[in-house]
Amino acid sequence: MSRSSFVAACAQMRSGRDPKANIDQAVGLIREAATAGAAYVQTPEMSNTVNRDRAGLFDAISPEDRDPMLEAFRTLAREKRVHIHAGSLAILRDDGKVANRAFLITPDGEIEARYDKIHLFDVDLPNGESWRESRTYTGGDCAVVADLPAGRLGLSICYDVRFAYLYRALAEAGAEILSAPACFTRQTGEAHWVVLHRARAIETGSFMISAAQAGLHEDGRETFGHSIIVDPWGRVLAEAGDQPGVVMAEIDMALVADARGRIPTLQHTRTFDLDHVEAPVAKAPLARSA
């Protein structure tokens, strides 16, 4: 990976309940991307298991120091000499709760950064789907940026992508590449996935790189897929469909300075007050005589 450019890849998965099968799937996709020249490979949210059954989830996951997918990724990063960004893994915390945690792993197999998803998806959708991540997961409280050889990476996960202030904060902290690996539902993904990624890229003059889960999973959920790489001008450089696989694009870091020079919004931040101007009370109409 050079300072000026590198090849990034999204490994689009369809994770199931079995962590071992998910490891095999992810490792195969990462190998494919690395062989094709990727220096940075990202996997989706919940790479190690997708399981809506709470008891089944707890049976399948481990503490960080014993998570088999994380160990496999560290070994593979050393073997292929690539950065591996585990979009997120379900990790058992010391307090018995669960973290939705991303990891950035260096080509030496070291964990450079961790990020726990800040915004939890507690939503009732019009099609009857109901999601309560807060029942199982503990949200993070710290935004994270980490250095790649080519530039600074801002980490986020899935539902975070709807909160523009997070990405502005990451960009103001030096991030030139932003990420939101996801397990987006099909319904919300069809409506908002691409436009949100283009918006976050344009607002900050940054690359957006997000691997996604795709298709009908063992637990019955259906995810949108469409792993995506967007440049700082909002152009889609690569986009997957709805099947597992790899998409790749060259990341030319010169485009960040170009976009930010043309539209320097990060230099124009201002603080402001907010007034609430109450509307005048409407007078009741006069009664009409009979």
Q: Which domains does the chain have, with CATH numbers?
A: 5-267 (3.60.110.10)
Q: What pLDDT score was predicted for residue 289? A: 55
User: Is 80 noted as a catalytic residue in this protein?
Assistant: no
Catalytic residue among 133, 158, 176, 183: 158
Catalytic residue among 80, 117, 133, 176: 117
Catalytic residue among 45, 80, 133, 176: 45
CB atoms within 10 A of CB 89: 25
**Percent of the chain having pLDDT more than 70?**
93
Distance CA 65, CA 244 (A): 28
DSSP string, 216-277: E-TTS-EEE---EEE-TTS-EEEE--SSSEEEEEEEETHHHHHHHHHS-GGG----------
pLDDT in tens, 64-82: 999 999 999 999 999 999 9
Take residue 77 and report the two structure tokens written for it: 């990063």
Residue 167 has pLDDT above 80, yes or no: yes
pLDDT in tens, 35-53: 999 999 999 999 999 998 8
Q: What pLDDT score was predicted for residue 3? A: 67
Residue 2 has pLDDT above 60, yes or no: no
Q: What pLDDT score was predicted for residue 145? A: 98
**At 275, is the pLDDT very low, low, confident or very high (cuts 50, 70, 90)?**
very high
User: Is 97 noted as a catalytic residue in this protein?
Assistant: no
Q: Which residues pair with 116 in a beta bridge?
A: 101
**At 121, is the pLDDT very low, low, confident or very high (cuts 50, 70, 90)?**
confident
- Residue for token digits 């298991």? 49
User: Is 222 noted as a catalytic residue in this protein?
Assistant: no
Mean confidence (pLDDT) of the chain: 94
